[in-house]
Chain A
Amino acid sequence: MSVFGRFGNWVREGQVWGSVFRHGVPRDRRTRAMAVLSNVFLHLHPVAVRKSGIRLSFTWCMGGLTFFLYLVEVVTGVLLMFYYRPTVEYAYFDIEGLRAYVTLGLLRELHRWGAHAMVIAIWLHMLRVFLTGSYKPPREFNWGVGVILMVLTLLLSFTGYLLPWDQLAMWAITVGSNMARATPLLGYEGPLASLVNIGGVPLVHAGDDARFGLLAGTFVGPNALLRFYVLHCVFIPVVATILIAVHFWRIRKDGGISGPL
């Protein structure tokens, strides 16, 4: 046995290694099962899965990649938060400085392209789930969870789009959030909103309608920036993380990846 091999064995037989991995080297059925069972991350998976379910051409690994891209977004996002201040004075210049002065200034690129990739991946994941009929019983509910996750993913992308506070950001969000102005009953240019009044005094106007709620103002300004920042960095990720946990839990409870009955 080579020096490295001997050294490897020495490490694996020592107390430190044994305290972390409470099973032998995964070389036989029992230790391989233990490798999955005794690891908090891996035990998202069952110990054994149906052969057809893990064929790459069946799942395209798209759900897994969506999740991986989500993790990339979380990690790069947290790192970005060290550099970025969500105020009109600083936001743009923090982003600019990130490019100019920060070592590993790729952070922002990774975060932005990862977000685009996640949007594409989640759509493809939905496409594969549809084409394999995997939303059919007993997986109806998990499909619904997935749809909400897709909406959250788009909202994450949308709220993040504003943060660089450049022209692209401001006007894309202006176009997008103008839609809220047209919400039926709740937007001040929405259908029938003028009927929501008390004795002729309108209850829905530019200063309190759905768009105002979204932007904390009547235009995309400092309040909108702060609001989108909090939604983007805290609120939506927390909800999405919880729902992803539900999604994964339900995949197992619904009998694992679907296959012909």
Chain B
Amino acid sequence: MIESIWTHGLVAAGDSNAVKDAINAICQPHWFFILSNVALFVFLMGYRTFTKPAFALFALLAFTAFYILSALDPDFLSIIIKADNVPITMMMYLTGFFAWLGFRQSAINDTRMEQGQPLLEAGSDDKVLVWPDLVYTEMIALVLCTVFLMVWAVVLRAPLEPPANPSVAPNPSKAPWYFLGLQELLVYFDPWIAGVLLPGLIIVGLIAVPYIDKNPRGNGYYTFKERKFAITTFMVGYLIMWIVLIVFGTFLRGPNWNFFGPYEFWDPHRPAALLNIDFRDIFWVRWMGRAIPTEDWSGIPYYLVREAPGIALLLGYFLVFPVVLKHTVFRRMAVQLGGIRYGIMVFLFLWMLLVPIKMALRWTLNMHYIVAITEFFLNV
């Protein structure tokens, strides 16, 4: 009741269509992803400036203003007030705040090191007693956390929809919010990659991090300057490929997993995006000017013949490209890491890189698969 009065009263006030259209437009997948990356890289390049409290405060206020003004829009409001989406708003604020806090301290430390001053964490040999110095901090954190949870629980009811019904599928059917990044990847990859391989590689890759990051500096204190590659890679993975994709999947994916701008009505009748061509079409038809092969060729099964161009491309990407990298951009690192570590690092790195590559191929060429051995569900 209150909700509806609120929205209806404010719709009129918040109606500035040109701005909304513009925002809807830049929220399209390619712009959203490219702009998030640009924002991250600009931030990392100027981290000493952008983490100054004045900038941070400005960013906080600007984002909050954007959020509140957007909430005047009934479509946007209906998404953010869904009970299970509330944590995502919290996550955005908390992630922003703590990323700032971390990089702020990195900036201070990096400047101090250049000037030969002690680190923020210096004096690490001074010991204090756990009682009272630590247990009191812990107790205060614990009390605050309890209060926060209590208020949250009183204000917001846990959602309960109609009883489970196997014959009525909601549209869209969304995974729990913390997996929405992976569900978003389903747009670009088959389930065996988006749902099995990539999660597996994330887990293995994270566990492998301490063994492939041989940089001895930056152990136990905030710094960015001394670990630029490691931190940049991690932030792209964490902020863009996990957090941003979750936000995208929550706010901007509607029925049939179609894209909807933040101020658009989730129209279930909007037609699904049409796919798509495979690399084999591009290679055989467009470049070779002939039909796609369907016959075995000197003992090689037809599907391997048909997919040979894509297979060659992937082999080149995973086997030749690392060698090229080893002698160019990764030269210093390759020497430092040695063969095995370099191999693992580059394998994980290239898988991570394949995500934006596949996205770009989709946006520019409308490409579906690089290799499509549909006979065995083996599509990349």
Give the complex CA separation of A114 and B196 in angstroms.
Answer: 27
A248 at the interface (CB under 8 A from B): no
Q: A158 contacts B179, CB within 8 Å?
A: yes
* A interface list, Cβ under 8 A from B: 26, 29, 32-33, 35-36, 42, 45-58, 60-61, 64-65, 68-69, 72, 88, 92, 95-96, 99, 106, 108-114, 116-117, 119-120, 123-124, 127-128, 130-137, 139-140, 143-144, 147-148, 151, 154, 157-158, 161, 164-172, 174-176, 178-184, 187, 189-195, 219-221, 258-261
Given A35-B131, A167-B164, A189-B377, are A182 and B191 also a contact pair (CB < 8 Å)? yes
Give the complex CA separation of A69 and B221 in angstroms.
Answer: 26
Given A131-B222, A133-B227, are A260 and B119 also a contact pair (CB < 8 Å)? yes
Residues of chain B contacted by A181 (CB below 8 angstroms): 191
Q: Pick the contact of A51 from B90, B128, B192, B231 — CB < 8 Å?
A: B128
Q: Pick the contact of A54 from B137, B142, B146, B159 — CB < 8 Å?
A: B137
Q: Please give me the 6 A-B residue pairs with the lowest Cβ-Cβ distance, nearest first.
A: A179-B195, A109-B153, A140-B210, A182-B191, A259-B124, A258-B220
Could you pull out 25 A-B pairs where Cβ atoms are within 8 angstroms?
A: A49-B130, A49-B134, A50-B127, A51-B123, A52-B123, A54-B137, A68-B145, A113-B149, A116-B177, A117-B87, A117-B149, A120-B94, A128-B102, A131-B102, A136-B219, A137-B219, A166-B161, A166-B163, A174-B173, A189-B377, A190-B196, A190-B377, A191-B373, A191-B379, A259-B121
Residue of B nearest to A162 (CB): B164
Give the complex CA separation of A192 and B169 in angstroms.
Answer: 30
* B interface list, Cβ under 8 A from A: 84, 87, 90-91, 94-95, 98-99, 101-103, 105-106, 119-135, 137-138, 141-142, 145-146, 149-150, 152-154, 156-166, 168-170, 173-179, 182-183, 190-192, 194-197, 203, 206-207, 209-211, 213, 216-223, 227, 231, 234, 238, 242, 373, 376-379
Determine which residue in A35, A119, A172, A174 has the highest number of CB atoms from chain B within 10 A of its CB, and name it. Answer: A172
Give the complex CA separation of A119 and B135 in angstroms.
Answer: 24
Q: A92-B163, A134-B220 are in contact. List 12 more A-B contacts (CB 8 A).
A: A36-B131, A42-B131, A49-B127, A49-B133, A113-B158, A116-B84, A148-B207, A167-B162, A174-B169, A179-B195, A182-B196, A191-B377
Q: Pick the contact of B220 from A161, A189, A192, A261 — CB < 8 Å?
A: A261
Q: Pick the contact of A131 from B106, B149, B150, B207 — CB < 8 Å?
A: B106
Given A50-B126, A157-B178, A176-B175, are A127 and B102 also a contact pair (CB < 8 Å)? yes
A95 to chain B, nearest CB (A): 6
Residues of chain B contacted by A151 (CB below 8 angstroms): 203
B193 to chain A, nearest CB (A): 8
Q: A258 contacts B173, CB within 8 Å?
A: no
Q: Pick the contact of B197 from A124, A143, A144, A184 — CB < 8 Å?
A: A184
B174 to chain A, nearest CB (A): 6
Residues of chain B contacted by A258 (CB below 8 angstroms): 219-220
Q: A127 contacts B191, CB within 8 Å?
A: no
Q: A168 contacts B159, CB within 8 Å?
A: yes
A18 to chain B, nearest CB (A): 18
Determine which residue in A111, A124, A148, A194 has the highest number of CB atoms from chain B within 10 A of its CB, and name it. Answer: A124
Given A166-B163, A258-B219, A260-B124, are A135 and B138 also a contact pair (CB < 8 Å)? no
